[in-house]
Chains A and B, each alone.
Chain A
Amino acid sequence: MAEFTSNPVGKNVPRADAYDKVTGAATFVDDMQFGPGLLYGRLVRSPYAHALVKKVDVSKALAVPGVRAVVTGQDVPARIGLYLIDRPVFATDRVRVVGDPVAGVIATSEEIAEEAAQLVEVEYEELPAVFDPVEAAQPDAPLLHPDLGKYKVANFIFPEPGTNISEHFKLRKGDVESAWPRCAAIVEDTFRLPQIQHVPLEPHAAVALWEQSGQVTLWTSSQSPFAQRDLIAQSLDIPHGNLRVVSPYVGGGFGGKAGVSMEVYAVAMARAVKGHAVKLRMTREEEFIGTTVRQSLVAHTKIGCDAEGNLLAMETQYYFGGGAYNDYGVNIARAAGYSCTGPYNIPNVKGDSYCVYTNRPIGSAMRGFGMPEIHWGIEQIMDQLAEKIGMDGAEFRRRNCVKTGQTILTGMKMPAVDLVACIDKVTEAIGWEDRRGTARPCPAAGPRPSTPHKKRGQGIAIMWKAPAIPPNPGSSAIVRFNEDATVNVEIGAQEMGQGVFTVAAQMAAQALGVPYEWVRVSAPIDTRYSPYEWQTVASRTTWSTGNAVKAAAEDARQQILEIVAEHWDEDAEDLDIKDGKVISYKSEREQPLQNMVIYGLPNENFEGWKGGPIVGHGMFMPTYITNLDPETGQGVRAVVHYTVGAQAVDLEVDTETGQVEVLKIASAYDVGKAINPDLVLVQIEGGAVHGMSSAFEVLRFDEKGQPINSNLVDYRIATSADVPQEIHGDIVETPLEDGPWGARGVGEHVMVQTAPAIANGINDALGIRFSDLPLSAEKIFLALEERKPTEE
């Protein structure tokens, strides 16, 4: 391992946080020590999917020795939300999902709090519930939010009061009706996926302290401490400056820790025991259904192409099952709406994307933010159309995928990306066999299956995603020095394993001119000391925080150069900083950064000093996102940029059991510039496995909405024995115009299209198309059995 890496951008420097994590020294919020006075909270949760709350009696709970307080909706009549303020902190008049919190108990131990929580008596009046989003969107469905019209809502979200529709995004481009008759082939299908959960290894946890002075501190595992501060401050009427959010390392976020889920309960409960810290932890079972999940989706899609295979038209409707509260969900439905063509050039598009209230766990941001949900259908239906027109799936995608400069569905011009290069890389890596003109399955063509009762197949899928952000999400950064010229970089972006602390250090080092090993990002992220960061989401921090860090480092660099230039009586343009030393290209003099970055430089004969403590600051906020027309979804610039990518899979299906074994996944993503190429590759690997696992995962409920597999025994995720033998990753670099060194993000993109790639591979192997997730072995086997009599 090098101890002195110059110009680290583009190099595989070691992770900044690895040492702490392999020694067990890395602190997560549940590891933080708060002393013997720490109190513990437990929530009282609704056993019903939909019910009125008639009465809450906490007297028996309060009587339990060790209980300090019980908080109910009466004590906290507040709602919380980001885009749509629809969620009560504690239920007041109504519960809308099994597990909806009704009260919080605070006690001297978690055990006592749990015992007492069991003693809170709630009188419910059960209401009819609705679970399917299409059903819930109908006018006669049970109404979950009669007050929808009164909720504060962002000006780009359009709920329909009097219904369960919390958002309706419309996309109208060209004229689909006139396009259908011109199509040589048309395919129409419906695709469904259930709710699934992030399953971060670290369950949500929060500690809150509300001091008598009014200062409130929240320690939590959070991707977005500033967003949490903002939402909770507004919801609980705390002046922003009085609420401090501190977040140490996040043990996996995947979007589930992006906003506020359970943290607001901890703060509301802390208010009842002022001066005492209260810890609230989610059990794994609560993590599954009591934090957030990925929304379910029913997608009806129709597409058509001409005789040469050029896409002409798409008509699509999305019904997202948003769950009991649709705060983040509405933006997901919106993002899905303005992305509904997938990464394809389609001149005529009619899209309607609905977010719908259902009596299910809260659907929210999960890695991909609507993209995995919609690509499940898009990438399958593209394959179906390719097959119908007799084209190979990879070739069809090369022809139709969106290219730089083309006008996309929102009327924006596609920024520079190279999706064809991504397709080429994965088809080469997987050994893609051209399927032009062949029906499925193709027993003759293709690689040999490993045993006779297995069928082998290949699948391909492409994707696109833009950060789904409001028009003005800002990043900022500060660069400070120590006497030995080591550098502290302060950011508000959060390390959840994606490596932002490492790449931010690389970027600061490069922009400053010091070795990577001299730079460290300050942690934990603390809204009292860290500079503002909108959220660590949307795969935006390499780009946005990176720009802020680069600007801050360049600011510090410029300050240093000006001081030394004056000191040497030279021009700052002739100076540079290399490997921690100011050098002059003109006079070849050198000035080490040590000490001068704090103390400045003395004049001759110590007649005065120049300079002083150097503090660089920088900020980045995109200023060019425009509104979209509410009727057509058209706008000059809907999004900041796109990251695109391709995945191909090689798999086998055991026809005797229905089990799918993914043998190899090949991925290629256009990241603009890989600041740390190996960190991009490990994201590709982790994402491929996450994507593969997501094809087999499902949250199950009974007919009354009770969760039946909200635990790791019966909600299975991929283990070390399930992962493919090989995951091959390729990096394509088409620079992003306003990316630091051309970089843009990739953290979510790497799992967006794995599930449909697998479904396409299964279709290749078996000639059966599965339009509904999960792809369970049972479903595949029973479909094979059902088909048997019709075979020759």
Chain B
Amino acid sequence: MLARPGLPSFDYVKASTSNEVTRLLEEHGEAARLLMGGTDLFVRMRDGFIRPQIVVDVKHLPGMRDILYDEQAGLRVGAASTMNEVARHLDVQAHYPLLAEAAESVASYQLRNRATVGGNLCNGSPAADTGPAALVLDGRIVLYGPDGEREVEAGEFFISPGQTAMEAGEFVKAICFPIPPAGAAGRYLKLGRNKVGDLSIVGVAVFGFPDGTAPSGYRFRIGLASVAPVPLRALEAEEVLAANPPGEETFARAAEKAMAAATPIDDVRASAAYRKAMVRNLTLRGVREVWEQMREGR
């Protein structure tokens, strides 16, 4: 069925308290949907995949749009912060440049004025560009539900395509990131069909930092998008980089391990074979660049 010309009918509600949101979600169940940026919700409503009776706008709840940085506590990004707000925030750029880069890689400037980090993560799409960033930066997703507030580590948040650890009646309030280790560097590399602005065929987040407890003197975290049912960490690749002296040979071995961790499918955007090879090639590029940045103390 082709997409319909406009949105089907529904009731829009602008929520003013978190409890109001959970109450509405509990009351209406599947017939209620949360509205953040709408960049995914409206497309799916036009496509006929979902047909909510009530759409609850959560962008205006206190703190949902705040981006707060504290030298001890780290970064707290309100779930309704737009990609542009995250990308241009001076504290994000200074202390979490990988997150800024991931946010800026999404779609177009116009869409980044609407698309939100919270929305990006809680769609549960394996292609979410902020997914690998959340994984490698040790992000924690702050949820609010009928039983109050709770936190889920990014690594536990993604369950399967379209499914996250959010339970009925819960919504995302914020994503928190701890202070990164000293001397850390990171890159988010994204491959699309256009040079800029596409969904990812493959997304690779590489995060590295000096660590005396690692035999190589460095630890890396590698997050992958679009190559598995969920965004995931390439743990064996990370182990190779922690255990072996840094250099082209180690990097290449790590890239092979990252490729092995990927279980992509064939879809309209690319084949599994291409995606696997691109995981390897992009991981290699990313690790080389992050290593260079760390060496130069950037």
- Spell out A's residues near B (CB within 8 Å): 42, 45, 47, 99, 110-111, 114, 281, 283, 285-286, 289-290, 656-659, 661, 696, 700, 708-711, 713-714, 716, 718-719, 721-722, 776-778, 781-782, 785
Tell whether, in the assembled complex, residue B5 and residue A47 are in contact, meaning their CB atoms are under 8 Å apart. Answer: no
Tell whether, in the assembled complex, residue A657 and residue B191 are in contact, meaning their CB atoms are under 8 Å apart. Answer: yes
Contacts of B277 in A (CB 8 A): 781-782, 785
| Chain B min CB distance to A11 (Å) | 37
Q: Are A42 and B5 also in contact (CB < 8 A) when A656-B281, A656-B285, A777-B193 are? A: yes
| Chain B min CB distance to A595 (Å) | 52
Q: How far is the CA of A777 from the CA of B8 in the complex (A)?
A: 38
Q: How far is the CA of A718 from the CA of B198 in the complex (A)?
A: 11
What would be 27 A-B contacts, judged by CB atoms less than 8 Å apart?
A47-B1, A111-B5, A111-B8, A114-B4, A283-B5, A290-B2, A657-B278, A657-B281, A661-B195, A708-B268, A709-B268, A710-B2, A713-B199, A719-B194, A719-B196, A721-B194, A722-B195, A777-B193, A777-B274, A778-B274, A781-B277, A781-B278, A782-B271, A782-B273, A782-B274, A782-B277, A785-B277
Tell whether, in the assembled complex, residue A719 and residue B193 are in contact, meaning their CB atoms are under 8 Å apart. Answer: no
Contacts of B5 in A (CB 8 A): 42, 110-111, 114, 281, 283
Tell whether, in the assembled complex, residue A283 and residue B194 are in contact, meaning their CB atoms are under 8 Å apart. Answer: no
Contacts of A42 in B (CB 8 A): 5
| Chain B min CB distance to A781 (Å) | 6
Q: Residue-by-residue, is B271-295 near A (CB-CB < 8 Å gives 1, otherwise 0)?
A: 1011001100100010000000000
Contacts of A659 in B (CB 8 A): 195
| Chain A min CB distance to B106 (Å) | 13
Contacts of B270 in A (CB 8 A): 778
Contacts of A114 in B (CB 8 A): 4-6
Q: How far is the CA of A696 from the CA of B193 in the complex (A)?
A: 9
Q: Residue-by-residue, is B1-16 near A (CB-CB < 8 Å gives 1, otherwise 0)?
A: 1111110110000000
Apart from A42-B5, A283-B3: 8 A-B pairs, beta carbons within 8 A: A45-B2, A47-B1, A99-B2, A114-B5, A283-B5, A656-B281, A718-B194, A785-B277
Chain B interface, >50% SS class: loop
Does B269 touch A at the CB level, under 8 Å? Answer: yes
Task: Give B246-277 interface residues, CB cut-off 8 Å to A.
Answer: 268-271, 273-274, 277
Q: How far is the CA of A111 from the CA of B8 in the complex (A)?
A: 7
Chain A interface, >50% SS class: loop
Contacts of A708 in B (CB 8 A): 268
Tell whether, in the assembled complex, residue A721 and residue B2 are in contact, meaning their CB atoms are under 8 Å apart. Answer: no
Q: How far is the CA of A286 from the CA of B1 in the complex (A)?
A: 10
Q: What are the 3 closest A-B residue pairs judged by CB atoms, nearest first?
A: A721-B196, A778-B274, A285-B2
| Chain A min CB distance to B105 (Å) | 12
Does B197 touch A at the CB level, under 8 Å? Answer: yes
Q: Which residue of A lies closest to B4 (CB)?
A: A114
Q: Which residue of A lies closest to B107 (CB)?
A: A713
Task: Give B50-87 interface residues, CB cut-off 8 Å to A.
Answer: none
Q: How far is the CA of A719 from the CA of B1 in the complex (A)?
A: 28
Q: Which residue of A lies closest to B278 (CB)?
A: A657
| Chain B min CB distance to A742 (Å) | 41
> How many inter-chain residue pairs (CB < 8 Å) link A and B?
69
How many B residues are at the interface, by size bracket? 20 to 34
Q: How far is the CA of A481 from the CA of B116 in the complex (A)?
A: 58
- Spell out B's residues near A (CB within 8 Å): 1-6, 8-9, 43, 191, 193-199, 268-271, 273-274, 277-278, 281, 285
Q: How far is the CA of A713 from the CA of B5 in the complex (A)?
A: 16
Contacts of A714 in B (CB 8 A): 268-269
Tell whether, in the assembled complex, residue A711 and residue B196 are in contact, meaning their CB atoms are under 8 Å apart. Answer: no
Q: How far is the CA of A700 from the CA of B271 in the complex (A)?
A: 14
Q: Which residue of A lies closest to B271 (CB)?
A: A778
Q: Which residue of B lies closest to A40 (CB)?
A: B5
Tell whether, in the assembled complex, residue A700 and residue B268 are in contact, meaning their CB atoms are under 8 Å apart. Answer: yes
| Chain B min CB distance to A196 (Å) | 14
Contacts of B6 in A (CB 8 A): 110-111, 114
Q: Are A711 and B194 also in contact (CB < 8 A) when A656-B285, A778-B271, A778-B274 are? A: no
Contacts of B191 in A (CB 8 A): 657
Contacts of B269 in A (CB 8 A): 714
Q: How far is the CA of A108 from the CA of B20 in the complex (A)?
A: 36
Contacts of A661 in B (CB 8 A): 195
Tell whether, in the assembled complex, residue A283 and residue B285 are in contact, meaning their CB atoms are under 8 Å apart. Answer: no
Q: How far is the CA of A527 from the CA of B268 in the complex (A)?
A: 44
Q: Are A716 and B196 also in contact (CB < 8 A) when A111-B6, A283-B2, A657-B278 are? A: no
Tell whether, in the assembled complex, residue A721 and residue B3 are in contact, meaning their CB atoms are under 8 Å apart. Answer: no
Q: How far is the CA of A289 from the CA of B2 in the complex (A)?
A: 10
Contacts of A721 in B (CB 8 A): 194-197
Contacts of A45 in B (CB 8 A): 2
Q: How far is the CA of A785 from the CA of B2 in the complex (A)?
A: 37
Q: Which residue of B lies closest to A700 (CB)?
A: B268
| Chain A min CB distance to B122 (Å) | 20
Q: Which residue of A lies closest to B2 (CB)?
A: A285
Q: Which residue of A lies closest to B6 (CB)?
A: A111
Q: Are A286 and B9 also in contact (CB < 8 A) when A714-B268, A716-B193, A719-B196 are? A: no
Contacts of B198 in A (CB 8 A): 716
Contacts of B194 in A (CB 8 A): 716, 718-719, 721-722
Contacting residue for A286 out of B2, B193, B281, CB 8 A:
B2
| Chain A min CB distance to B226 (Å) | 13
Q: Are A711 and B278 also in contact (CB < 8 A) when A722-B195, A777-B193 are? A: no
Contacts of A289 in B (CB 8 A): 2
Q: How far is the CA of A702 from the CA of B230 in the complex (A)?
A: 25
Contacts of A781 in B (CB 8 A): 274, 277-278
Q: How far is the CA of A626 from the CA of B6 in the complex (A)?
A: 51
Q: Which of B193, B271, B273 has the most CB of A within 10 A?
A: B193
| Chain A min CB distance to B219 (Å) | 26
| Chain A min CB distance to B212 (Å) | 33
Contacting residue for A283 out of B4, B196, B268, B271, CB 8 A:
B4
| Chain B min CB distance to A626 (Å) | 45
Q: Which residue of B lies closest to A777 (CB)?
A: B193
| Chain A min CB distance to B174 (Å) | 29
Q: How far is the CA of A415 from the CA of B274 in the complex (A)?
A: 49
Contacts of B196 in A (CB 8 A): 719, 721
| Chain B min CB distance to A693 (Å) | 10
Q: Which residue of B lies closest to A45 (CB)?
A: B2
Contacts of A716 in B (CB 8 A): 193-194, 198
Q: Which residue of B lies closest to A289 (CB)?
A: B2
| Chain B min CB distance to A659 (Å) | 8
Q: How far is the CA of A114 from the CA of B6 in the complex (A)?
A: 9
Contacts of B9 in A (CB 8 A): 111
Q: How far is the CA of A639 from the CA of B36 in the complex (A)?
A: 59
Q: How far is the CA of A286 from the CA of B199 in the complex (A)?
A: 22
Contacts of A47 in B (CB 8 A): 1
Q: How far is the CA of A285 from the CA of B194 in the complex (A)?
A: 20
Q: Which residue of B lies closest to A776 (CB)?
A: B193
| Chain A min CB distance to B43 (Å) | 8
Contacts of A777 in B (CB 8 A): 193, 274
Q: Are A711 and B3 also in contact (CB < 8 A) when A657-B191, A657-B281 are? A: yes
Q: Which residue of B lies closest to A661 (CB)?
A: B195
Contacts of B274 in A (CB 8 A): 658, 777-778, 781-782
Q: How far is the CA of A721 from the CA of B196 in the complex (A)?
A: 6
Q: How far is the CA of A662 from the CA of B256 in the complex (A)?
A: 30
| Chain A min CB distance to B271 (Å) | 6
Contacts of B1 in A (CB 8 A): 47
Q: How far is the CA of A716 from the CA of B277 in the complex (A)?
A: 22
Q: Which residue of B lies closest to A696 (CB)?
A: B193
Q: Which residue of A lies closest to B273 (CB)?
A: A782
| Chain A min CB distance to B132 (Å) | 18
Q: Which residue of A lies closest to B274 (CB)?
A: A778
Contacts of A718 in B (CB 8 A): 194
